[in-house]
């Protein structure tokens, strides 16, 4: 290693980043776009759900249906017949139907046991589950008002008192935006780095570099350092946007957040450099980077989908996905705080992976063309 | 003699060529190169020149044998070796998005040039390469010749003891080439050992020592004088009082005892086989000529290689060429093209007649390629009139494009398709019917000796065969006009000869040929040519007419290269005076 | 098909399939994604790890907890003995939720007094938290109904009878897997077409094509057909995997589905060729495909409903071919839809296909060199 050579290479790398539109696109434009998309666009919280109400007039029915009108979760549409409502459901105009039979009022008064038909469009199972819970909430509210009107209180044997820690309002943004940091750093560390190294092979600049007295260690370090800085800058940008723009609470310390991110960045860079050592062609290295790093970071990291719910073989597979450890740290540091057992265990895994990938790259890199 | 700069002892190097095949690049090569001189590395395509360079630079390891650089074993990994070598690969690794100066800075850092020595060294190198005014320009925006000079400057930052240059002058115009050579010779005077490979054999004359490789083996090593010596008495310049020199060349080529017959200025250069005596026919004047390295090269290789096809190429069976009425085939009037504020072509005009071989010459960045692309219909002129076979190619329909053939720079083909698949594809897109297709494919495989390579991927062919295939693809549909953009760049002298024999035959059959080239001796093959500089036409006419323009008291009989350099220098000077 | 186009199509196929690496990129990534998405992408949670802190020794609390133990959704990880143990098990992610039953629980119930169960849920992943909360409610409600009946509690005057149509067990796999068909078809078409022009431009063969008698439309058709055929084959393979491997029911009209596949492929190819024609180098082509694909997947409604997005973003999704195709896929798979219901989806795709193809053909010749 030699200070002057390394400095020269690093300066070159920075100049290239600044002047290469595709580097800017991956390192700046794409992260901002993704953050905006996830911060504003994507939400797993159901909005006001279009709901069909089919009910002949009766005072009891009006009382219940009024509950749907007042609820912030629904946009009710009245339909005269069940057939019309069903057709609306089939055409995706409404997501669910609440159906009261014509004898609803009578049965309720007479037998105290009337059925409320609820039909939900189960295609989007996640959405359907949420819809069902919202309808249940309206129903319970209606029951307790009914009981109040009769001068008693609704008496159910056991009621659940839910306390949701860390994210009482269940804003999906609070975990999607921090998780996105892992995606963005994967993009910069693995995809972009793999691309720039393959490009040097393709354009013949690597041959010219190798003909100089520069060592392979210098070349590797000169890729590591600038893209490390770039990745950390992307991460800092994401944190700033998360906290100030999307009001995501950050309960842990910045120190832990940045240290863990630095560790993950090393893993991502290790993967990127390894890919470009194996594939000296930009197209192939991009394909490998997307399939081996980007997609797993999206799907197998716990960023969106719950890891515990996956089948055992897939769950085992997630243990070799570096992003899973980082997402765990991110969601904890943002949502809960510096919970040391979580942070340390996952950081240890990241350390091991960084050592593995960087070590393997080092072993495989030779200052030769064949 | 002091320690040899570079010693190869029994070196073997093999590569996996894909599909389980192995290419033997070097087959037990032993050679020594002396220190302090310029050694030229010659040989046809695939001789192993690049492999030798890369082994010397330590970028490859030999499978067997020893390599020593200034007495150090190259395989021991000693630091002394990379520090003493400067290497400029064929495609020099300039960072195109860095400026000229930033590229220099980078390589200065990498070679560990002391900071206080830099400024002076940059100035020196920039002055030497005449790149001074372009210090802040991005390397990607430089012309081909300027890129090569910058690459050389980067390899020279800390004067190496051994400088390896792999085809440093390919695709470089004669002026830049001359400048590069001045730099190289000055280095040699300063004690730098230079090893360079080249396909331009006139350059070989300027080397102190020549190493000739063929198929991974050493074919010979000698200084240019001894290299030429066997040819003394075998080289002649032949002229006839009347009649075309092209006709004469064709006749001479068939004569017994003649190995090679090439146009040279208004004469034909003839090389006789060993022991053959000159046999002038009536009307011919044979004058003994000073032998050149190229003569020796051709004489040496003709023996070891399949006899180059010298029969005139025919358009092939079943396709009588449609004779066009004599007249203008290509017409350009005040043709202009701008890219933003930059005017690449500034109003050029010329006519090309049917059956003519028409050359478009110019320095790198003179606007030839832009003009060429407008003629083929790949680029829309900003203004001006253009007619190719009676139509404007850019707006012309399929029928008009059916009449042209096109061979692009670097012989662009589908690299991962086999030779046969490439031919079938082009036959298909030109709409050849089944019977015609079969016949033409057979013709192409025979005419261009492509038969043995049918199933080889085009990308794996040597440059010479790529060129043949590209030409074959462009000729499948019997075009009336053939566009050739630097069709012989990087091709060895033997392949160039074959190529031009075909072009001459095609022209003879009435095909109009439009060609750009950097080889000035090839300009002689043209019936007429235009010389472009900075987007303008400097001179137009037959080769003798152009040469006459450059006649001067101290230069009574200028070669085409002399004319080229003199005319362009004059033009640039007049521009400078005007501004 | 004219002989010229045929020659071009053959060449395009050879270029795609002759190279081992290129063949691999057509097979391996889709296969991996099918497996990963098919199995890993699920919103159905199970094996939710939980801890119990039961201060009540009575039978009622044991009866309630037994219901959790017997459910496949829940997995008991720990029994806590003090309140201060709650925070650490949640913080450390050892459990997702803690069920806390107070000391009065059984006594209250037996005395006909409403009792409370406190459930503390880790909200770091709010979606999982919400789903887990719903499952807890369901278990407790089932307990309530039985307890009320057995111990003579007053029954609510009206009960909810919930039925879910098209997907009775609310399996998110039924939702995700048809989506994968769309996703992977898009990936394959973009990969085959998105680089085809850029690759030729970079190597210079595109100029060679342009000087041949081929018209822009012929080049467009020639370059579209291989992507179309490969896309169609892969779409069919993935459809078969969805039905026969992942057991997603196909209830609608196959004809309506394939009409959708047809227009969707055309729009995907059009966009791929457009990206490719704008790009000068393969690197730009790869980047363009990637920059299009990521938002196209996110905005398609593949994992998150379009209706949840802000209005401006919802308008943006009209430019996303995947959005229309997902409706067609899920409609024909689960809702039993025929072509008549899906008219507007076909129209959207056809409009995108027409616009992108026209632009691509124009760009072939008019792109500044």
Over residues C254-294, the pLDDT tens digits come to 999 999 999 999 999 999 999 988 887 777 888 888 889 88
Interface of A with C in 312-341 (CB under 8 A): 313-314, 318, 328, 331-332, 334-337, 339, 341
The topology (CATH level 3) of A49-149 is abc type-2 transporter like fold (3.40.1710)
Interface of C with B in 335-364 (CB under 8 A): none
Interface of C with A in 165-194 (CB under 8 A): 165-168, 170-172, 174-175, 191
Q: Closest to C290 (Cβ–Cβ): which among A60, A154, A290?
A: A290
Over residues C83-101, the pLDDT tens digits come to 999 999 998 889 999 999 9
Residues C144, C180: one domain? no
Matching CATH topology for B6-225 and B328-403+479-578?
yes
Distance CA B23, CA C174 (A): 54
Domain boundary among C83, C115, C150: C150
The answer to whether the Cβ–Cβ distance between C159 and A116 falls below 8 Å is yes
Over residues B24-78, the pLDDT tens digits come to 888 888 999 988 899 999 888 778 888 899 888 888 888 998 888 888 887 776 6
Distance CA C35, CA C31 (A): 6
Q: Provide mean pLDDT across the span B449-456.
A: 85
> Which pLDDT band holds residue C75 (cuts at 50, 70, 90)?
very high
Torsion of CA A200, A202, A204, A208, to 10 degrees: 30
Over residues A36-47, the pLDDT tens digits come to 888 877 766 666
Q: Closest to C287 (Cβ–Cβ): which among A25, A124, A158?
A: A25
Angle at B133 between CA B128 and CA B138, to 5 degrees: 105
Are B335 and B385 in contact, with CB atoms under 8 Å apart?
A: yes
Say whether pLDDT at B325 is over 60: no
Residues C261, C215: one domain? yes
The domain at B233-290 falls in which architecture?
A: 2-Layer Sandwich (3.30)
Residues C106, C138: one domain? yes
H helix intervals, A241-311: 254-278, 282-289, 295-299
Q: How far is B129 from chain C (nearest CA, A)?
A: 29
Are C16 and C222 in contact, with CB atoms under 8 Å apart?
A: no
Interface test with B, best of C199, C208, C282, C368 (most B CBs within 10 A): C208
More confident residue, B45 or B181: B181
Beta strands B85-88 and A74-78: pairing type?
A: unpaired
The answer to whether the Cβ–Cβ distance between B377 and C14 falls below 8 Å is no
The answer to whether the Cβ–Cβ distance between C8 and B428 falls below 8 Å is yes
Beta strands B328-339 and B342-353: pairing type?
A: antiparallel
Residue B40 bridge partners (DSSP): B196, B210
Over residues A284-300, the pLDDT tens digits come to 888 888 888 888 888 88
> Which pLDDT band holds residue B20 (cuts at 50, 70, 90)?
low
Domain B328-403+479-578 - what CATH class?
Answer: alpha beta
Q: How far is A21 from chain C (nearest CA, A)?
A: 9
Q: How far is C222 from chain A (nearest CA, A)?
A: 22
The answer to whether the Cβ–Cβ distance between A214 and B94 falls below 8 Å is no
Over residues B123-171, the pLDDT tens digits come to 888 887 878 888 888 888 887 778 888 888 888 888 888 999 988 888 7
The domain at B6-225 falls in which architecture?
A: 3-Layer(aba) Sandwich (3.40)
Residues C329, C255: one domain? yes
Say whether pLDDT at C80 is over 90: yes
Q: Closest to B417 (Cβ–Cβ): which among C11, C209, C215?
A: C11
Residues C118, C7: one domain? no
Residue C125 lies in a domain: yes
From chain B, the residues in CB contact with C7 under 8 A are: 424-429
The answer to whether the Cβ–Cβ distance between C205 and B431 falls below 8 Å is no
**Centroid of chain to Cα B363:** 14
The answer to whether the Cβ–Cβ distance between C209 and B425 falls below 8 Å is no
Are B562 and B569 in contact, with CB atoms under 8 Å apart?
A: no
Over residues A97-139, the pLDDT tens digits come to 999 888 888 888 776 678 889 999 888 887 888 888 889 889 8
Are C100 and C120 in contact, with CB atoms under 8 Å apart?
A: yes
Domain boundary among C150, C182, C198: C150
Interface of A with C in 196-235 (CB under 8 A): 199
Residues C119, C253: one domain? no
Nearest CA in chain B to C207: B378
Q: Is A183 on the interface with C (CB under 8 A)?
A: no
Domain boundary among C117, C150, C183: C150
Q: Closest to B87 (Cβ–Cβ): which among A2, A211, A370?
A: A211
Phi, then psi, of B513 in degrees rounded to 5:
-125, 130
Over residues B76-109, the pLDDT tens digits come to 766 667 778 888 887 767 888 899 999 999 998 8
Distance CA A356, CA A41 (A): 37
More confident residue, B364 or B551: B551
Over residues C283-310, the pLDDT tens digits come to 788 888 888 988 898 889 887 788 878 8
Domain boundaries, chain B: 6-225, 233-290, 328-403+479-578
Provide the pLDDT for residue A357.
Answer: 95
DSSP A88-129: HHHTTS-SEEEE--TTHHHHHHHHS-EEEEEEEE-SSHHHHH
Domain boundaries, chain A: 3-42+171-364, 49-149
Q: Which ipTM value was assigned to this complex?
A: 0.81
Nearest CA in chain C to B381: C368
The answer to whether the Cβ–Cβ distance between C11 and B421 falls below 8 Å is yes
The answer to whether the Cβ–Cβ distance between B417 and C14 falls below 8 Å is yes
From chain A, the residues in CB contact with C91 under 8 A are: 332, 336-337, 339, 341-342
Residue B6 bridge partners (DSSP): B33, B69
The answer to whether the Cβ–Cβ distance between B413 and C6 falls below 8 Å is no
DSSP B213-267: EETTEEEEEE-HHHHHGGGTTTEEEEEESSS-HHHHHHHHHHSTTEEEEEEETTE
Flag the least confident range among A306-315, B313-322, B562-571.
B313-322
Q: Which domain holds residue C252?
A: 3-41+171-366
Q: How far is A4 from chain C (nearest CA, A)?
A: 31
Q: How many domains does chain C have?
A: 2
Beta strands B193-197 and B64-69: pairing type?
A: unpaired
From chain A, the residues in CB contact with B96 under 8 A are: 203
Helix, strand or coil, per DSSP, at residue B138: strand
The answer to whether the Cβ–Cβ distance between B377 and C210 falls below 8 Å is yes
Residue C354 lies in a domain: yes
DSSP, res B76: G
Task: Specify the CATH number for the domain of residue C120.
Answer: 3.40.1710.10
Residues C58, C113: one domain? yes
What is the number of other CB atoms lying within 10 angstroms of the CB of residue B311? 11
Provide the pLDDT for residue B60.
Answer: 86
Q: Provide mean pLDDT across the span B543-553.
A: 85
Helix, strand or coil, per DSSP, at residue B513: strand
């Amino acid at each position: 290693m030699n200070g002057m050579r390394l400095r020269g290479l690093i300066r070159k790398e920075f100049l290239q980043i600044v002047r290469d539109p595709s580097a800017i696109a991956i390192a700046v434009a794409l992260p901002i776009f993704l953050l905006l998309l996830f911060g504003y666009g994507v939400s797993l919280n159901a909005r006001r759900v279009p709901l069909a109400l089919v009910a002949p007039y009766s005072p009891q029915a009006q009382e219940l249906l009024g509950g749907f009108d007042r609820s912030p979760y629904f946009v009710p549409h009245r339909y005269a017949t069940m057939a019309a409502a069903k057709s609306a459901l089939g055409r995706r105009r409404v997501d669910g139907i609440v159906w009261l039979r014509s004898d609803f009022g009578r049965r309720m008064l007479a037998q105290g046991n009337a059925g409320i038909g609820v039909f939900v469009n189960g295609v989007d199972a996640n959405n359907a589950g949420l819809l069902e819970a919202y309808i249940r909430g309206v129903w319970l509210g209606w029951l307790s008002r009914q009981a109040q009107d009769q001068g008693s209180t609704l008496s159910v044997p056991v009621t659940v008192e839910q306390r949701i820690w860390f994210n009482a309002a269940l804003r999906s943004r609070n975990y999607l935006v921090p998780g996105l940091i892992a995606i963005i750093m994967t993009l910069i560390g693995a995809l972009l780095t793999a691309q720039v190294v393959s490009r040097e092979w393709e354009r013949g600049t690597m041959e010219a570099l190798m003909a100089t007295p520069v060592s392979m260690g210098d070349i590797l370090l000169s890729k590591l350092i600038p893209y490390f800085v770039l990745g950390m800058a992307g991460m800092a940008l994401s944190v700033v946007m998360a906290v100030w723009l999307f009001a995501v609470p950050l309960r842990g310390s910045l120190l832990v957040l940045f240290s863990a991110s630095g560790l993950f960045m090393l893993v991502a860079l290790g993967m990127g450099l390894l890919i470009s050592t194996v594939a000296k062609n930009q197209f192939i290295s991009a394909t490998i980077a997307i399939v081996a790093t980007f997609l797993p970071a999206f799907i197998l990291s716990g960023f969106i989908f719950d890891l515990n719910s996956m089948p055992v073989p897939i769950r085992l597979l997630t243990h070799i996905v570096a992003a899973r450890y980082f997402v765990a740290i991110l969601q904890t540091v943002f949502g809960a705080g510096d919970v040391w057992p979580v942070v340390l265990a996952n950081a240890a895994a990241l350390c091991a992976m960084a050592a593995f990938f960087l070590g393997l790259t080092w072993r495989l890199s030779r200052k030769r063309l064949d | 003699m002091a320690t040899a700069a570079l010693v190869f002892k029994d070196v073997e190097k093999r590569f996996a060529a894909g599909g389980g095949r192995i290419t033997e690049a070097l087959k037990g090569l032993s050679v020594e190169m002396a220190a302090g001189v310029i050694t030229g590395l010659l040989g046809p395509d695939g001789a192993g020149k690049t492999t030798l360079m890369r082994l010397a630079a330590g970028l490859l390891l030999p499978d067997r044998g020893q390599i020593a650089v200034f007495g150090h074993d190259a395989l021991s990994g000693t630091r002394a070796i990379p520090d003493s070598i400067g290497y400029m690969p064929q495609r020099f690794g300039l960072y195109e998005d860095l400026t000229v100066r930033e590229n220099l800075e980078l390589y200065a850092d990498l070679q560990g040039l002391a900071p206080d020595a830099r400024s002076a060294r940059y100035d020196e190198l920039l002055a030497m390469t005449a790149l001074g005014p372009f210090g802040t320009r991005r390397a990607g925006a430089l012309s081909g010749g300027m890129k090569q000079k910058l690459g050389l400057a980067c390899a020279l930052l800390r004067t190496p003891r051994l400088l390896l240059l792999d085809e440093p002058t390919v695709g470089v115009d004669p002026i830049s080439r001359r400048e590069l050579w001045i730099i190289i010779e000055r280095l040699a005077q300063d004690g730098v050992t230079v090893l360079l490979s080249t396909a331009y054999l006139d350059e070989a004359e300027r080397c102190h020592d020549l190493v000739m490789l063929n198929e991974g083996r050493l074919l010979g090593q000698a200084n240019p004088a001894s290299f030429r010596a066997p040819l003394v008495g075998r080289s002649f310049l032949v002229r006839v009082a009347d009649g075309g020199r092209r006709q004469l060349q064709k006749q001479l080529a068939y004569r017994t005892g003649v190995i090679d017959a090439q146009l040279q200025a208004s004469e034909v250069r003839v090389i006789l086989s060993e022991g053959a005596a000159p046999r002038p026919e009536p009307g011919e004047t044979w004058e003994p000529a000073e032998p050149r390295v190229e003569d020796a090269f051709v004489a040496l290789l003709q023996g070891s290689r399949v006899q180059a096809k010298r029969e005139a190429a025919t358009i092939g069976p079943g396709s009588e060429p449609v004779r066009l009425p004599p007249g203008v085939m290509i017409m350009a009037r005040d043709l202009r093209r701008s890219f933003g504020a930059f005017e690449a072509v500034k109003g050029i005009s010329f006519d090309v007649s049917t059956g003519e071989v028409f050359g478009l010459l110019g320095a790198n960045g003179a606007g030839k390629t832009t003009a060429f692309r407008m003629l083929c219909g790949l680029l829309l002129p900003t203004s001006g009139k253009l007619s190719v076979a009676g139509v404007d190619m850019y707006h012309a329909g399929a029928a008009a494009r059916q009449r042209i053939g096109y061979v692009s720079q670097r012989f662009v083909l589908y690299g991962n398709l086999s030779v046969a698949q490439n031919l079938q594809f082009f036959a298909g897109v030109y709409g050849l019917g089944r019977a015609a297709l079969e016949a033409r494919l057979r013709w192409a495989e025979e005419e261009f000796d492509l038969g043995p390579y049918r199933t080889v991927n085009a990308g794996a062919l040597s440059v010479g065969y790529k060129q043949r295939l590209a030409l074959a693809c462009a000729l499948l549909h019997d075009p009336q006009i053939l566009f050739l953009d630097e069709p012989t760049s990087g091709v060895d002298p033997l392949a160039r000869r074959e190529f031009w024999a075909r072009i001459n035959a095609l022209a003879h059959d009435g095909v109009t040929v439009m060609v750009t080239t950097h080889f000035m001796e090839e300009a002689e093959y043209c019936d007429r040519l235009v010389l472009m500089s900075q987007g303008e036409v400097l001179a137009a006419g037959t080769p003798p007419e152009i040469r006459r323009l450059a006649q001067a008291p101290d230069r009574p009989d200028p070669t085409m290269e002399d004319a080229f350099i003199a005319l362009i220098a004059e033009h640039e000077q007049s521009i400078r005076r005007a501004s | 098909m004219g002989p010229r186009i045929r020659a071009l199509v053959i060449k395009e196929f050879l270029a795609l399939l002759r190279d081992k690496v290129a063949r691999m990129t057509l097979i391996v990534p889709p296969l991996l994604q099918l497996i990963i998405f098919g199995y890993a992408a699920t919103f159905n949670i199970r094996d939710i790890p939980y801890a119990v802190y039961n201060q009540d020794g009575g039978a009622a609390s044991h009866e309630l907890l037994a219901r959790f133990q017997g459910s496949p959704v829940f997995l008991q990880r720990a029994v806590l003995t003090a309140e201060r143990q709650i925070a650490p098990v949640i913080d450390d992610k050892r459990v997702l939720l803690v069920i806390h039953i107070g000391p009065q629980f059984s006594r209250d119930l037996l005395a006909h007094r409403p009792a409370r169960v406190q459930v503390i849920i880790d909200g770091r992943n709010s979606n999982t938290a919400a789903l887990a909360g719903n499952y807890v409610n369901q278990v407790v409600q089932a307990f309530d109904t039985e307890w009320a009946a057995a111990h003579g509690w007053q029954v609510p005057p009206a009960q909810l009878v919930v039925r879910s149509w098209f997907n009775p067990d609310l399996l998110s796999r039924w939702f995700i897997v048809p989506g994968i068909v769309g996703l992977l078809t898009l990936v394959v078409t973009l990969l085959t077409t998105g680089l085809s022009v850029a690759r030729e431009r970079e190597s210079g063969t595109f100029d060679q094509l342009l000087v041949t008698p081929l018209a822009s439309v012929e080049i467009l058709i020639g370059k579209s057909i291989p992507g179309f055929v490969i896309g169609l084959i892969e779409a069919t393979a993935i459809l078969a995997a969805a039905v026969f491997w992942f057991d997603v029911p196909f209830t609608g009209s196959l004809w309506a589905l394939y009409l959708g596949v047809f227009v969707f492929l055309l729009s995907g190819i059009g966009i791929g060729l457009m990206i490719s024609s704008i790009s000068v180098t393969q690197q730009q082509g790869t980047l363009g495909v990637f920059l299009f694909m990521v938002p196209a997947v996110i905005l398609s409604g593949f994992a998150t409903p379009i209706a949840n997005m802000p209005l401006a973003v919802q308008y943006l999704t009209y430019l996303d071919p995947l959005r229309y195709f997902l409706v067609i896929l899920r409609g024909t798979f689960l809702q039993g839809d025929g072509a008549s219901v899906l008219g507007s989806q076909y129209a959207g795709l056809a409009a995108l296909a027409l616009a992108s193809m026209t632009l691509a053909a124009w760009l072939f010749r008019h792109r500044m060199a």
